[in-house]
C-alpha cells in the first residue's frame, strides 16, 4: 500500500507539472520572441529619427550605435541598401513597410522589423532591423532548462512528502496487521492501538471488539468441560449411591428407590440444560425459561442435600421468611447455584449450614452461611481456581457467579466470618391463568 500511495501522489504531481509547465513553456517562447521584436522595433525607430529629409537627395546617414549581432540598414524606395548592414536588396518584409506601417516577420532564420521613414506625409525610405533567431532560441532553451529544473525540484519534493505521508498512512495499518497476525497465532490479549486516522481507528475498534467476542466465546468453550463435570458430579454421585443402596438391601422399597432415581435424573437433565445455556451465554432457542416459587426450589435443595450433610455429621437448616417463598424465580439457575454453594459449604465450611430466603422489592435473596471463616479477599473468592484443594476443583463459586449474572442476578460474599454468601435473583412474572 505504501508504494501505491507514493505512486498515486507522484503521478498526480507529474500530471500537475505537465499541465502547468507546457503552457508556461509556450508562453516563455512567445514572450521571448515578442520581446525581441519589440527591441528591434525600438532600434529601428531610433535609427529612423537620425535619417534627415535630404536622404532622398543622396545624403549619408549616421546610424546610432546598437547591440552586436543586430543588423540595421536604411533602404530607399527602390529597395537598395543605402547605409548600415543587411541584405543589398530589400526583402518582402522591408518592401511591405513602404506602405507606411511597421511590419514584422521572419526570414532566413532571422527576426525582421521594418519601420518606414516619413517626411511630412510621404515615405522616403525604410529602416530594417534584424537579428538571428538562433540567439533567441538559445535564451528560450535556457529558460526551459530552468523551468525543467524547477519542475524536477518540485517532483523530488513531492516524492519526499509522498513517502512521509505514505509512512504516516501505512504505519497504523501495518501495526493493525501485526496485531491481527498475533491474534491469528493465538494471542487473544493483542489489541490494536489508536491512530490519528479516523477510518483506521474504526477498523481497529472493530477488530478489538471481534477479538473480545472471540476470547469470550473461547473462554466459554474452554471452561465448558470443567463446568459440566463439576455440576454433574453431585447428582451423578447421589443417583449412584441411591441405586447402590437399593440394590444392596433386599428389603428395600424398589418403587421408592426408582422414584428417587427418577427425581435425580430429572435434576440431572436440568443441570445439563443449565450448563449448556451458560456455555452459549444466551438462552437456547426452543427451551423456555422455567420458574418456580422460591419455597419449592429450597425444598428441592433440602431433599437433595439433607442426607449428604447428615452422612458427614453436619446439620443443614432451611428457613423462609414471611413472604419470601412466594415469588417465582428461575428455578434451574437457582438450583445450580444452591448446589454449588452447598457443595462449597460442605467441602470448605464447617458446622451448621443455614439457608435463608428473603423477599425484596423486585428480587429474592437467598443467604447461605456456615460457621467457618474465609481468609481470601472478597474478589479472589470468585476467581477460577482460587480455592483449589484436595477437596475441590476451585471452580464452584466462579461458576455460580457466572450463572447468577447470566440470569440477571448477582452472587456476593456478604460476610467472611461467619462465611455468608448472598444470592439475588430477579422475580419472574407468574404464568398467565388458563383460559
Residue keyed to cell 422414584: 259
The three cell numbers locating residue 74: 536604411
Within-domain flag for 319: yes
Q: If you ran DSSP here, which 8-state letter would residue 79 be given?
A: S
Within-domain flag for 134: yes
| 237 and 322 part of one domain | no
| 20 and 136 part of one domain | yes
DSSP letters along 271-319, please?
A: HHHHHHHHHHTSPPTT-PPPEEEHHHHHHHHHHHHHHHHHHTT--EEEE
| 300 and 268 part of one domain | no
| 79 and 37 part of one domain | yes
Domain range for 103 is 2-149
| 331 and 284 part of one domain | no
Residue keyed to cell 426450589: 297
| 253 and 237 part of one domain | yes
Rounded to whole angstroms, the Cα distance separating 403 from 410 reads 9
pLDDT digits over 131-144, tens only? 999 989 999 999 99
Find the Cα–Cα–Cα–Cα dihedral 61, 65, 67, 71, rounded to 10°. Answer: 10
CA angle 17, 29, 9 (to 5 degrees): 5
| 434 and 327 part of one domain | yes
Q: Final residue of a domain: which of 94, 124, 149? A: 149
Rounded to whole angstroms, the Cα distance separating 284 from 280 reads 8
| 273 and 238 part of one domain | yes
pLDDT digits over 194-227, tens only? 877 788 888 888 988 888 888 877 776 666 666 5
| 274 and 301 part of one domain | no
Q: Final residue of a domain: which of 128, 149, 170? A: 149
pLDDT digits over 112-124, tens only? 999 999 887 888 8
| 298 and 431 part of one domain | yes
The answer to whether 393 and 399 are in contact (CB under 8 A) is: no
Q: Which of the four pLDDT bands, split at 50, 70 and 90, describes residue 288? A: very low
Q: Which of the four pLDDT bands, split at 50, 70 and 90, describes residue 289? A: low
- Looking at the 3D structure of the chain, how many domains does it have? 3
Q: Is 431 helix (H, G, I), strand (E, B) or coil?
A: coil
pLDDT digits over 258-287, tens only? 777 777 777 677 667 666 666 655 444 333
Q: Please, which residues have CB within 8 angstroms of residue 305's CB and are 6 or more apart in sequence?
A: 316, 339, 342, 346
| 376 and 298 part of one domain | yes
CATH code at position 399:
3.30.565.10
| 130 and 88 part of one domain | yes
Amino acid at each position: 500500500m505504501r508504494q501505491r500511495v507514493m505512486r498515486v501522489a507522484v503521478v498526480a504531481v507529474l500530471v500537475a507539472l505537465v499541465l502547468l509547465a507546457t503552457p508556461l513553456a509556450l508562453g516563455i517562447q512567445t514572450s521571448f520572441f515578442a520581446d525581441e521584436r519589440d527591441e528591434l522595433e525600438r532600434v529601428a525607430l531610433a535609427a529612423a529619427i537620425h535619417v534627415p529629409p535630404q536622404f532622398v537627395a543622396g545624403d549619408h546617414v549616421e546610424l546610432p550605435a546598437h547591440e552586436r549581432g543586430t543588423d540595421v540598414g536604411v533602404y530607399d524606395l527602390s529597395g537598395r541598401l543605402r547605409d548600415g548592414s543587411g541584405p543589398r536588396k530589400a526583402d518582402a518584409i522591408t518592401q511591405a513597410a513602404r506602405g507606411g506601417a511597421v511590419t514584422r516577420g521572419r526570414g532566413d532564420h532571422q527576426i525582421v522589423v521594418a519601420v518606414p521613414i516619413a517626411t511630412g506625409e510621404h515615405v522616403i525610405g525604410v529602416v530594417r532591423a534584424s537579428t538571428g533567431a538562433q540567439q533567441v532560441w538559445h535564451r528560450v532553451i535556457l529558460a526551459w532548462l530552468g523551468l525543467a529544473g524547477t519542475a524536477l525540484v518540485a517532483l523530488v519534493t513531492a516524492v519526499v512528502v509522498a513517502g512521509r505521508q505514505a509512512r504516516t498512512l501505512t504505519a497504523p495499518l501495518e501495526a493493525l496487521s501485526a496485531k491481527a497476525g498475533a491474534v491469528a497465532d493465538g494471542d487473544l490479549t493483542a489489541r490494536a492501538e489508536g491512530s490519528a486516522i479516523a477510518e483506521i481507528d474504526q477498523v481497529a475498534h472493530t477488530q478489538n471488539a471481534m477479538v473480545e467476542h472471540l476470547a469470550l466465546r473461547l473462554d466459554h468453550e474452554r471452561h465448558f468441560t470443567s463446568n459440566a463435570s463439576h455440576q454433574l458430579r453431585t447428582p451423578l454421585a447421589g443417583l449412584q449411591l441411591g441405586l447402590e443402596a437399593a440394590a444392596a438391601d433386599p428389603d428395600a422399597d424398589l418403587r421408592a428407590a426408582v422414584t428417587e432415581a427418577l427425581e435425580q435424573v430429572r435434576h440431572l437433565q436440568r443441570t445439563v440444560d443449565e450448563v449448556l445455556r451458560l456455555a452459549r451465554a444466551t438462552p437456547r432457542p426452543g427451551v423456555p425459561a422455567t420458574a418456580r416459587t422460591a419455597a419449592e426450589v429450597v425444598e428441592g435443595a433440602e431433599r437433595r442435600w439433607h442426607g449428604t450433610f447428615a452422612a458427614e455429621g453436619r446439620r443443614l437448616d432451611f428457613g423462609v421468611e414471611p413472604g419470601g417463598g412466594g415469588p417465582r424465580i428461575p428455578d434451574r439457575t437457582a438450583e445450580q447455584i444452591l448446589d454449588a454453594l452447598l457443595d462449597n459449604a460442605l467441602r470448605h465450611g464447617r458446622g451448621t449450614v443455614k439457608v435463608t430466603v428473603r423477599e425484596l422489592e423486585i428480587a429474592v435473596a437467598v443467604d447461605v452461611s456456615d460457621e467457618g471463616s474465609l481468609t481470601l479477599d472478597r474478589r479472589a473468592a470468585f476467581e477460577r481456581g482460587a480455592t483449589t484443594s484436595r477437596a475441590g476443583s476451585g471452580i464452584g463459586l466462579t461458576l455460580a457467579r457466572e450463572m447468577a449474572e447470566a440470569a440477571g442476578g448477582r452472587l456476593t460474599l456478604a460476610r467472611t466470618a461467619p462465611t455468608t454468601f448472598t444470592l439475588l435473583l430477579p422475580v419472574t412474572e407468574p404464568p398467565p391463568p388458563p383460559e
